């Protein structure tokens, strides 16, 4: 069986296998914290220093080969030391999205692998549209809760899992101690790849949503279901459709991510040691 066949036929076995490969390659039997760096966040990882190990994600079981040649995600292992305490962070640069059309398994394979590799905390970052008009472009917002408009779950079978504390209150409190200016919001998961219409944004706002994006929600559910604590941080990189009257463009998103990278990197590196 190929590694991709294993991903689709037995996703937890694929995650367990990938975790074992990570332990073998890094020499680190167990990692502590996982970080998924979404678009606009990749350069924030530089604040963590030099990685102890890096490989292309598709060298590991179950991670799909790149859709575009040379565009594979990277997996890194970092050793962070604070007050003599060693913390091992497993960092995924880039992720797979539902809109790519490859199904749910590759979307959540990274976080499942991370939990199987020992991670007790999973930090999910993303770039998103701001529905709440008080948000400014370049502002980070902690995810307090979500609304799934894809209704796509990574779980199947009679697994009726409670999601009332999906985005850990404990962790949000610690992050807000680091930066008391941080706001919290409700994130809507939208399949994409199209952005919303202005009417859809109005619907989302009416439903109580603050942020909208195309990731994070399946990964949060998959990580929580395996027992990890989840933190979600969204970087508002554009006002959602119809909010300003401007059209949405991808360049704006990239520029806002770059501009915020230093602040986000500092926030992550100061927060991570306090989570474990
Ligand atoms: I960056 O406005 C980013 N990702 N669905 N809507 C949705 N996803 C996004 C948006 C947005 N901006």
Using alpha carbons, select from 244, 237, 230 the residue that is nearest to residue 213. Answer: 237
Of residues 238, 239, 240, 261, which has the active-site annotation?
238
Alpha carbons 201 and 168: distance in angstroms, whole number: 26
Q: End-to-end CA distance of the chain, in Å?
A: 37
Q: Is the pLDDT confidence value at 179 over 80?
A: yes
What's residue 65's pLDDT? 80
CB atoms within 10 A of CB 245: 8
Using CA positions, which residue lies closest to atom 8 of ligand 1? 213
Using CA positions, which residue lies closest to atom 7 of ligand 1? 213
Atom of ligand 1 nearest to the CA of 239: 2
146 torsion bin: left (phi>0), alpha (psi -120 to 50), beta (else) = beta
Q: 240 in ligand 1 pocket by Cβ < 6 Å? A: yes
Using alpha carbons, select from 124, 136, 34, 137 the residue that is nearest to residue 76. Answer: 34
Of residues 178, 199, 207, 250, which has the active-site annotation?
250
Q: Provide the Cα torsion 174, 178, 183, 187; round to 10°.
A: -50
What would the pLDDT profile of 194-246 be if each residue is shown by its tens digit?
999 999 999 999 999 999 999 999 999 999 999 999 999 999 999 999 888 88
Residue 215 annotated to the active site: yes
Q: What pTM was computed for the model?
A: 0.96
What would the pLDDT profile of 47-61 be if each residue is shown by its tens digit?
899 999 999 999 999
Of residues 97, 109, 146, 189, which has the active-site annotation?
97
Using CA positions, which residue lies closest to atom 2 of ligand 1? 129
Q: 41 in ligand 1 pocket by Cβ < 6 Å? A: no
Q: 214 in ligand 1 pocket by Cβ < 6 Å? A: yes
Please spell the DSSP secondary structure of 70-120, one letter per residue.
Answer: T---EEEEEEEEETTEEEEEEEEES---GGGSS-SHHHHHHHHHHHHTT-S
Using alpha carbons, select from 12, 34, 23, 40 the residue that is nearest to residue 92. Answer: 34
Of residues 214, 220, 222, 228, which has the active-site annotation?
214
Alpha carbons 37 and 42: distance in angstroms, whole number: 6
Using alpha carbons, select from 92, 69, 70 the residue that is nearest to residue 19. Answer: 92
Mean pLDDT of the chain: 94
66 torsion bin: left (phi>0), alpha (psi -120 to 50), beta (else) = beta
Q: 253 in ligand 1 pocket by Cβ < 6 Å? A: yes
């Amino acid at each position: 069986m190929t590694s991709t066949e294993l991903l689709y036929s037995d996703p937890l076995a694929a995650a367990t296998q990938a975790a074992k490969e990570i332990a073998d390659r890094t020499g680190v039997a167990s990692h502590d914290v996982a970080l998924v760096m979404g678009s606009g966040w990749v350069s924030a990882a530089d604040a963590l220093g030099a990685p102890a190990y890096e490989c292309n994600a598709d060298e590991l079981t179950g991670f799909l080969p790149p859709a575009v040649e040379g565009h594979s995600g990277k997996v890194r292992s970092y050793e962070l030391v604070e007050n003599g305490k060693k913390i091992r962070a497993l960092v995924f640069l880039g992720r797979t999205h539902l809109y790519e059309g490859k199904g749910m398994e590759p979307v959540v394979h990274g976080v499942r692998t991370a939990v199987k590799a020992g991670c007790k905390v999973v930090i999910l970052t993303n770039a998103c549209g701001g529905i709440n008009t008080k948000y400014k472009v370049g502002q980070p917002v902690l995810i307090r809760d979500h609304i799934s408009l894809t209704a796509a779950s990574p779980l199947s079978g009679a697994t009726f899992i409670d999601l009332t504390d999906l985005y850990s209150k404990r962790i949000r409190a610690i992050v807000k101690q680091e930066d008391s200016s941080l706001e919290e919001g409700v994130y809507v998961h939208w399949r994409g790849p199209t952005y919303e219409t202005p009417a859809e944004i109005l619907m989302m706002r009416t439903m109580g949503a603050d942020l909208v994006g195309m990731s994070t929600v399946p990964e949060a559910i998959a990580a929580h279901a395996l027992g990890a604590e989840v933190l979600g941080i969204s970087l508002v990189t554009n006002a959602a459709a119809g909010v300003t009257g401007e059209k949405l463009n991808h360049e704006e998103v990239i520029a806002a991510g770059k501009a915020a990278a230093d602040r986000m990197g500092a926030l992550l590196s100061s927060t991570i040691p306090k989570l474990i």
